[in-house]
Structure 1
Amino acid sequence: MSDVQSWIKQTVTDNPVVLFMKGTAQFPQCGFSGRAIQILKACGAQNIVTINVLEDAVVRQGIKDYSNWPTIPQLYIKGEFVGGSDIMGEMYESGELKALIES
């Protein structure tokens, strides 16, 4: 496992809610990342750790390799890959995401 893969694994394992996104929670740099943050806040998520993939090309590629998922944002809850903003939206609508965050 590469250094970036090890770092990603530790980050998603050590923090209950991690969002790899473009930009920051305060200043999302794409619509999908902005939507992802809004969904998490609507679910009442606390202490969201956000990783701005635009700051580091190695991390940006590394997270795609780690999850085998081609797009950003990517949400991890309790170390498990949940999905991107479309999946988050569906899970939010069904109440599944809020339940997962609260559990």
Structure 2
Amino acid sequence: MSAISEWIDGQVKGNDVVLFMKGTPTFPQCGFSGQTVQILDYLGIAYQGINVLDSDELRQGIKEYTNWPTIPQLYVKGEFVGGADIVREMFQAGELQQMLEEKGVAKAA
């Protein structure tokens, strides 16, 4: 496992909810990242936002980590959930809220 994969793995396993995104939660740099942030913020979930634009190595590394070609990527309790379209569809169907509840994800303080 490469150093960047190990770092990503540590973030994924060390935080209940992690969003690898373009930009930051307060300043998303793409529409898809922005949509995902809006959903998480609406649900009041505490999450770690990681800006993949900070490093080419990270941007490539996260795609290889999941074998998923697009960003953003959402992880809950170490499990890859999906990108913006999947997160939006799950949210609209109530599945995202249910999954977060079942996994015991805390609301932001």
**Percent of paired sites with the same residue:** 59
Partner of 1:89: 88
Q: Which amino acid aligns with 1:44?
A: G
Structure 1 CA distance for aligned equivalents of residues 37 and 101 of structure 2: 16
Once the two structures are superposed, the pairs formed by residues 38-57 of structure 1 within 5 Å of their partners are 38-46=38-46, 48-57=47-56
SS in structure 2 opposite 1:86?
A: helix
* 1:62 Cα offset (Å): 0.2
Structure 2 CA distance for aligned equivalents of residues 20 and 84 of structure 1: 10
Contact 1:43 1:97 in 2 (8 A): no
Task: Report runs of 4+ in structure 1 exceeding 6 Å deviation.
Answer: none
| TM-score (normalizing by structure 1) | 0.96
Structure 1 residue 67 corresponds to structure 2 residue 60: no
* 1:18 Cα offset (Å): 0.1
* 1:28 Cα offset (Å): 0.3
Structure 1 CA distance for aligned equivalents of residues 28 and 67 of structure 2: 23
* 1:42 Cα offset (Å): 1.8
What is the Cα-based RMSD across aligned positions, in Å? 0.8
Structure 1 unaligned residues grouped into runs of 5+: none
Once the two structures are superposed, the pairs formed by residues 23-34 of structure 1 within 5 Å of their partners are 23-34=23-34
* 1:100 Cα offset (Å): 1.7
| TM-score (normalizing by structure 2) | 0.90
Structure 2 CA distance for aligned equivalents of residues 43 and 37 of structure 1: 10
